Amino acid sequence: MTTAVLTARPVPPNALPARFARLPVLAAVALLPWLAVLAACHETPWVVLDLTEFAALLSLDALLRRRSPAALWAGAAVALLLTGDALADIACAGPGRAVLAALVMALCIELPLAAVCLRLGRDAAVRVA
């Protein structure tokens, strides 16, 4: 009888720490209250965009847990959605505090999350290869 030897997958150089791997699912859960607010205000286009982001974040999380090479594409999709959302928020914001709030959300939440998701997908693809 033979025993299988478990080998650890090599960690890519400059990979994000393991604690970042749960960020997509945490971001998806954090998006739920905002989706409720948007739905209550009958903001259908924004609800659809944020539901798409929600689904993409959960998909990325599932692919990361499976260590699938498809995580690269899911990370890129999430990054594209978040970047587009940030740009649309800024473009559609009114003057004054509204545009300032959109800029703060983009620079402090959406764009950093996009970068992390892109990097998580890349790191997962490098581990599989």
Domain count, the chain: 1
pLDDT at 108 over 90: yes
CB 47 within 8 A of CB 39: yes
Whether 62 is in a domain gets the answer: yes
**Residue 105 reports pLDDT greater than 80:** yes
The CATH number of the domain holding residue 43 is 1.20.120
pLDDT value at residue 51: 96
Asked whether residue 90 is domain-assigned, the answer is: yes
8 within domain boundaries: no
In angstroms, the CA 73 to CA 122 distance is 9
For the stretch 26-83, pLDDT in tens is 999 999 999 999 999 999 999 999 999 999 999 999 999 998 999 999 999 999 999 9
Q: What is the length of the chain?
A: 129
Counting Cα atoms < 13 Å in the Cβ hemisphere of 125 gives 14
Q: How confident is the model at residue 124 (pLDDT cuts 50, 70, 90)?
A: confident
Q: Which residue has the higher pLDDT, 127 or 70?
A: 70
Residue 69 within a domain: yes
Report the predicted TM-score, pTM, of the whole model to 2 decimal places: 0.84
Contact predicate 72/121, CB 8 Å: yes
- Which residue range forms the structural domain that includes residue 61? 20-128
pLDDT surpassing 70 at residue 21: yes
In a domain, 15, yes or no: no
What is the band of 9 on the pLDDT scale with cuts at 50, 70, 90?
low
pLDDT of residue 57: 97
What does the buried/exposed string (b/e) look like for 51-71 if buried means 16 or more CB atoms within 10 Å of the residue's CB? eebbebbbbbbebbeeebebb
- Asked if the structure places residue 92 within a domain, the reply is yes
Q: What is the mean pLDDT of the chain?
A: 89
Tokens of 31: 């998006």
- Hey, what amino acid is at 50? D
| Residue 98, both tokens | 């509204």
Assigned domain for 116 exists = yes
Residue at 94 is within a domain: yes
Residue with tokens 């539901």: 51
